[in-house]
Structure 1
Amino acid sequence: MELRHLRYFVALAEQLNFTLAAEKVHVTQSTLSHQIKQLEDELGSRLFERESRKVTMTQTGEAFLERARNALREVDEGLWSVRMAAEEMSGVVRIGTTHTFNMRIIPQCISVFVARHPSVRVEVMEMSGDDIAESLARGGLDIGVTYKPQNASGLRFEALYTEEMMLAVGLTHPFSKRRFVRMSELHLQKIVLLPRSFATRALLDECFRMANATPVVVAEMNAIAPMMELVSSTDIAAIVSEHATRREDVRMIPVESPTPTRAPGLMWRTEESRSPAARAFASIIRSVCAEASHDRRRASSRAATRKKPNQRQDSNPVSS
């Protein structure tokens, strides 16, 4: 499969007319038809249904279209980045990010970016995922770094990695010595959560439902730092990202059955080309996150090797 096959496929999918699609990609109609047939043969599935005067897409074609568009977009952006690499960038790149990213990933990315592109100013605004989506939609940001919000219409979301959420408790909490906690054990436990307007809250509510657990939600807070402060001085627990700010007075405990997981990622407007500076910053974010994920997997592998076979079999509220 070559890039031209994808470009011809997308053109025909958009036009649903061989004559118009051939004109768009500057080839003859017979060449286009032959190339589409080659692609279908390689995939082993029909992408279009051809009738005498009508072309329609098959279910396979519909499923393949988004992937093909994404692949072409990445290639085109890569080519653009190569062309711009030799030119000095300027201007401003505006980043919207959630607290977790702003504490860890974004400062590291800025350090790398300003060293490479000193003529570009970086503006970072810490916001909720929904606020980032809204600001992107109206052109107030160039890139969002967040968890996928509930309303992301008109925006493209690119997952960077998958992370687990963990139970955060103070040192005197009954669960503080536990190696892990099952979601069902949080039934009637006092807990502080994000408000219901957050996508993460919907995820946690679904996990509680699956475990048939109803915690006592004593407070809702829209920021992690005050949640951790509350947890540290009370018997109230929280469920936060495994990458939340670590404190010596708070224990982070894995949650199981089910384990809440979410995927942070990049977000930008679908129908608008990003500036060279925004493309460059997004590339650095991908690299930093990929390296961090690799380090976490390596650390987890070492920990699993050291773990005793019966280490995670204790399900009593307090370990012996």
Structure 2
Amino acid sequence: MELQQMRYVVAVAETANFTRAAERCHVVQSALSHQIARLEGELGSRLFERTSRRVRLTAAGEAFLPAARQALEAAERARAEVAAAAGELRGRLAIGAITTVAAVDLPGALGEFRRHHPRVHITLRSTTSEQLVEQVRDGVLDLAFLGVLPGFRPRGVRDHELAQDELVAVVAPGHPLADEERVDLRRLSREVFVDFAAGTLARAQSEEAFAAAGLRREVAFEVSAVELLARVVRNGLGIAMLPAAYARDLPGVRVLPVRDAPLRVERLVWSRSRPSPAAAAFLTSLGLDPEAG
């Protein structure tokens, strides 16, 4: 069993297409198919179901894929450790972040890191705080920036509180509340809201505040991206609540302090295992001890 064969399996699984997988791996399709067939022969099981219309993993393939990814990551980690011992930082740095991260200028921090360590391959993905914690725990991400309720402590990872921030009301410039200096939750509860998906930590920050005040509100628009949320607000379809540090930079909206505002806490999480050289260097660049938390 060879690492290259594992790379081919992962590429086919992720693209669901032998041709695209071969292009990603910079080999001809026949070579990729031959190597996967050799691996299947060695394992005694088919890893993929192939039809003229699609390619998908068999049960054996589903079982093989996580181990293949771990083997590839371990090999990459070994190369990175050797390079670090020789004074060169390389390897991967996989970061996750909520869309409203404000405690750190993440693009700026990553740009500065890239300038100092050009051999490190940086990736960034954005999703919910819940999924980010899971992906750090599973080793898919090296570290992630979360937005959570006060008192929330993610399990199975190291974590550090970066900042606390109050939520503010965000309304269109022509909204009846636009000229108010400050509002409260009771007044806001009479408005139609745009918010993140029900059940997410991003939504819970507002939801629990209204519930604690004995108030109900209507969330007519559910979105997953803050850019769409802002567009809905700008067009007068609803109002929103966002962290003050993030909301103040949104163009074309009015931002109003809220008297009984809920808090949003930003936390940085990373693996309980020893961070990779690249992850440790990035944490250090943020002023954090990679072994703390």
Task: Say whether the fold is shared (TM-score over 0.5).
Answer: yes
The aligned counterpart of 2:222 is 220
**Structure 2 counterparts to residues 309-320 of structure 1, below 5 A:** none
Distance 1:173 1:102 in 2: 26
The aligned counterpart of 1:278 is 279
What letter matches 1:254 in structure 2?
A: P
What letter matches 2:89 in structure 1?
A: M
Aligned residues of 1:169 and 1:235 also touching (Cα < 8 A): no
**Structure 2 counterparts to residues 28-67 of structure 1, below 5 A:** none
CA-CA distance at 1:177 after TM superposition: 0.6
CA-CA distance at 1:102 after TM superposition: 8.6
User: Structure 2 vs 1, CA of residues 284 and 164 (structure 1 numbering), >3 Å: closer, same or farther?
Assistant: farther
Aligned residues of 2:128 and 2:202 also touching (Cα < 8 A): no
Distance 2:172 2:244 in 1: 16
- The answer as to 2:186 corresponding to 1:184 is yes
- The answer as to 2:164 corresponding to 1:169 is no
- The answer as to 2:249 corresponding to 1:250 is no
Query: Where does the alignment leave 5 or more consecutive residues of structure 1 unmatched?
Result: 1-83, 288-320
Distance 1:192 1:286 in 2: 36
RMSD over equivalenced CA pairs, Å: 2.5
Higher Cα radius of gyration = 1
The aligned counterpart of 1:239 is 241
Distance 1:226 1:121 in 2: 29
The aligned counterpart of 1:310 is none
Aligned residues of 1:147 and 1:263 also touching (Cα < 8 A): yes
> Secondary structure at 1:206's aligned position in 2?
helix
Aligned residues of 2:159 and 2:269 also touching (Cα < 8 A): yes
The aligned counterpart of 2:207 is 205
User: Structure 2 vs 1, CA of residues 102 and 211 (structure 1 numbering), >3 Å: closer, same or farther?
Assistant: closer
Distance 1:200 1:101 in 2: 11
Q: Deviations over 1:214-236 (max 9, x none)?
A: 22211221221101100001151
Aligned residues of 1:144 and 1:267 also touching (Cα < 8 A): yes
- The answer as to 2:100 corresponding to 1:97 is no
User: Structure 2 vs 1, CA of residues 178 and 156 (structure 1 numbering), >3 Å: closer, same or farther?
Assistant: same
Runs of 4+ in 1 over 6 A off after TM superposition: none
The aligned counterpart of 1:300 is none
CA-CA distance at 1:167 after TM superposition: 0.5
What letter matches 2:90 in structure 1?
A: S
User: Structure 2 vs 1, CA of residues 247 and 144 (structure 1 numbering), >3 Å: closer, same or farther?
Assistant: closer
Q: Deviations over 1:69-104 (max 9, x none)?
A: xxxxxxxxxxxxxxx799221111111111123997
CA-CA distance at 1:160 after TM superposition: 0.6
> Secondary structure at 1:94's aligned position in 2?
strand
Percent identity of the aligned residues? Answer: 25
Choose between structure 1 and 2: higher helix proportion: 1
The aligned counterpart of 1:126 is 126
Distance 1:185 1:203 in 2: 18
Query: Where does the alignment leave 5 or more consecutive residues of structure 2 unmatched?
Result: 1-83, 289-293
Distance 2:282 2:93 in 1: 8
> Secondary structure at 1:147's aligned position in 2?
strand
